[in-house]
Structure 1
């Protein structure tokens, strides 16, 4: 089965975990509603009324299971998971208006720095950090 996935952080091309997306089919750039925070070496997505920039891909079941491991998803145990996969609606891009899955940050956010413009690539350039 194929799954449509929105990514917004270190899984994107040119960033630290891009190799994890090898074999996925690129659909296009997109935006979703939400807000980003800097949780250390990667961003976290939270619900919110801002916009988050990212990319959409299609992945199969095995690839999605591998990404769940990378993102710290504990199947069947949201409380133990660092991220949790949720459905979101694409606000732009080739699949605008469609529902896709993404990883939402699932840990306390006290002390995390907001990324107000919602663009992780831009943010790491601004703060002078490698992904």
Structure 2
């Protein structure tokens, strides 16, 4: 199975150790979503933007661990999306993003860069 990661699970980020047993397949941009900062980690919601991601092949055990991390308390839900590497699971944020910082670039790695315009 495959998973899309867009924030703290990406390479060289704070939670990238969760992907240690995964196989990196490549980078990808998902269209029709927007990225928001939730503080130390991001959330993706449906919208009019694009989000920069990494796609990994993972095993069922890793998916179970990520589900426990991400879906606990209903904060995220998994959604199946298409990528050049095949369909992959994306964790979509389920709570309000009102008052949260919109990362217009769609790239968590650029979250501290000044916004254009």
Shared topology, TM-score over 0.5? Answer: yes
Q: CA deviation at 1:100?
A: 1.5
Point out the structure with the larger strand share. Answer: 2
1:89 and 2:82 are equivalent in the alignment = yes
Once the two structures are TM-superposed, the CA of residue 49 in structure 1 deviates from its matched residue by 2.1
Are 1:117 and 2:105 matched, yes or no? yes
Match of 2:59 in 1: 60
2:9 to 8, 11, 20: 11
Alignment RMSD (CA, Å): 1.4
Q: Deviations over 1:64-122 (max 9, x none)?
A: 00011121x14xxxxx41111111223xxx52xx4211100111212111011100001
Provide TM-score, normalisation by structure 1.
0.80
User: Structure 1: which 4+ aligned runs deviate by more than 2 Å?
Assistant: none
Alignment of 1:22-41 (within 5 A): 22-33=20-31, 34-41=33-40
In the alignment, which residue of structure 2 is the partner of 1:77?
Answer: none
What are the ranges of 5 or more consecutive residues in structure 2 without an aligned counterpart?
none
Q: TM-score, normalised on structure 2?
A: 0.89
Give, in whole Å, the separation in 1 of the partners of 2:69 and 2:22.
15
